[in-house]
Chains A and B, each alone.
Chain A
């Protein structure tokens, strides 16, 4: 392992984190704009041309807000919780490939941070520990709304993780590898979404539940729990939760694109590898749009129905899908 290699890794890591945080800022703007257009409004348009500076203004506002810590909160965990929420969100996309490889300054650079042969398992592991931040935030705030929100989040995420896992296994079975690069490459003839629409649907629904987006935003159900687990958070601590939520949105869009929508693959990408990131970006933007569209349209499902749906519909369906896929693969592959 030479020094240049390590330097390349460091640069790629920093680049990834910067893209994710910058992406977070502009996904908020994207969401507000899309919501506004759907609701026959204009949306933020004051800060900069077309409101492009709005995220900056929001950030500055949040930095200067007073940080309140409730008197009876568990101070250590209260401070730790937002950090624990952001870290999994930031590291989860490390295994997602942006493209094959490009030549830059005479050096061949692979457009992914890590191509490990257990990438899908890595995704599962990071998803499973991302619950902690939310659960602990709810518990440490010493607030009933927050506690209820934290409990809801925990139960919901445990429930939907199973369906999510089974949905992610399907592309693994199809590609015969857990590496995301292999999975993307094996979608060269046809995207998995066309072969496995059900798995994609299950993945999408379970992922929405996993990141607590509407219509599964129980943990922060404004109508009954005010803001759920982050009721007591303000200033930058709140911003971290906010950031985690939006980065997770980007992350599930990227992962979903890679698993089912052909990732960085697209026309002429073999001839011109630099197109890879562009294709991925377009796909992510489309998936994000659908997520926002859902938020703008659907009422929230009630919590007990949500759990019922997860366990009684989604989970058996995902299991069955894996089973059928397995049988078909054996029959076809001989």
Chain B
């Protein structure tokens, strides 16, 4: 059954897969990072289609906007965009391929045998992912982990600021010495 929604979903899903593959296969770290950004952004669009704009925008802000910018920054700073030619994996490649296939098979099995999941995906609760719902779960159900995380982040920030303390600006007034005529 091809509805407009399914077609749009299909197109974006293809983009997600293509950009993920592009990330894996590009030999330039900057391109890889950009493919990943595209991937994150497209996943955000999928969230939008699912009617969860809050999660979509958080996805963009956090993953595409902060984490990947940091990645890009490090790559540019180190000048590490050119990957070394040759085979970085060597004979591990076959093992990696094997595990990849096993993982894929697992996913397929999951989809086939747990078909009931699909229904859940198709009809998320109306309030799912709204700012209010997220806030409620963060501050009620998961209040303790959330507060601990926040605390750790504040401690880390304070620590970083203290570690990089430089010399401050001394605002004293400065004058010159004068050598007068009759020295």
Contacts and interface: CB of A to CB of B under 8 A. Distances in A.
A, B co-complexed? yes
Interface of A: 74, 77, 116-118, 121-122, 124-125, 127-129, 131-132, 135-136, 138-139, 147, 150-151, 154-155, 157-158, 161, 178, 304, 308, 311-312, 315-316, 319
Contact of B61 (A117, A121, A147): A121
B73 A158 contact: yes
Contact of A128 (B54, B64, B154, B157): B64
Contact of B66 (A122, A135, A158): A158
Contact of B69 (A128, A147, A311, A315): A128
A128 B53 contact: no
Contacts of B53: 116, 118
Interface of B: 30, 34, 37, 41, 53-54, 57-58, 60-61, 64-66, 69-70, 72-73, 76-77, 81, 130-131, 154, 157, 160-161, 164, 166
Nearest to A313: B161
Nearest to B72: A135
B30 to A, nearest CB: 6
B66 to A, nearest CB: 6
Contact of A135 (B76, B81, B131): B76
A215 to B, nearest CB: 16
Nearest to B63: A128
B65 A135 contact: no
A151 B131 CA distance: 34
Contacts of A147: 76
- Report whether over half of chain A's contact residues are helix, strand or loop; otherwise say mixed: helix
B142 to A, nearest CB: 19
B168 to A, nearest CB: 9
B57 A135 contact: no
A315 B158 CA distance: 11
Given A125-B60, A129-B37, A132-B69, 6 more contacts: A124-B61, A124-B65, A129-B64, A136-B30, A151-B76, A158-B73
A320 B56 CA distance: 28
A117 B160 CA distance: 35
A129 B57 contact: no
Given A121-B57, A312-B161, A315-B157, A77 B65 contact: no
Nearest to A130: B65
14 contacts: A77-B34, A121-B61, A128-B61, A129-B64, A132-B69, A135-B76, A139-B30, A154-B76, A155-B73, A158-B66, A161-B66, A308-B164, A308-B166, A315-B157
Contacts of A316: 161
Query: Which A-B residue pairs are the 3 nearest by beta carbons?
Result: A128-B65, A125-B60, A125-B61
A154 B57 contact: no
A154 B161 contact: no
A154 B69 contact: yes
A138 to B, nearest CB: 8
B77 A151 contact: yes
Given A77-B30, A132-B37, A150-B76, A122 B57 contact: yes
B60 A129 contact: yes
A292 to B, nearest CB: 27
B77 A178 contact: no
A118 B56 CA distance: 11
B76 A117 contact: no
B116 to A, nearest CB: 31
Contacts of B77: 151
B60 A128 contact: yes
A173 to B, nearest CB: 12
Contact of B72 (A117, A125, A154, A161): A154
B161 A121 contact: no
A311 B161 contact: yes
A124 B60 CA distance: 9
Contacts of B73: 135, 151, 154-155, 158
A333 B53 CA distance: 29
Nearest to B60: A125
B58 A121 contact: yes
Contacts of A157: 69
Nearest to A312: B161
A316 B161 CA distance: 10
A304 B154 CA distance: 22
A281 B79 CA distance: 45
Among A118, A127, A178, the most chain B Cβ lie within 10 Å of the Cβ of A118
Contacts of A122: 57
Contacts of B65: 124-125, 127-129, 131, 161
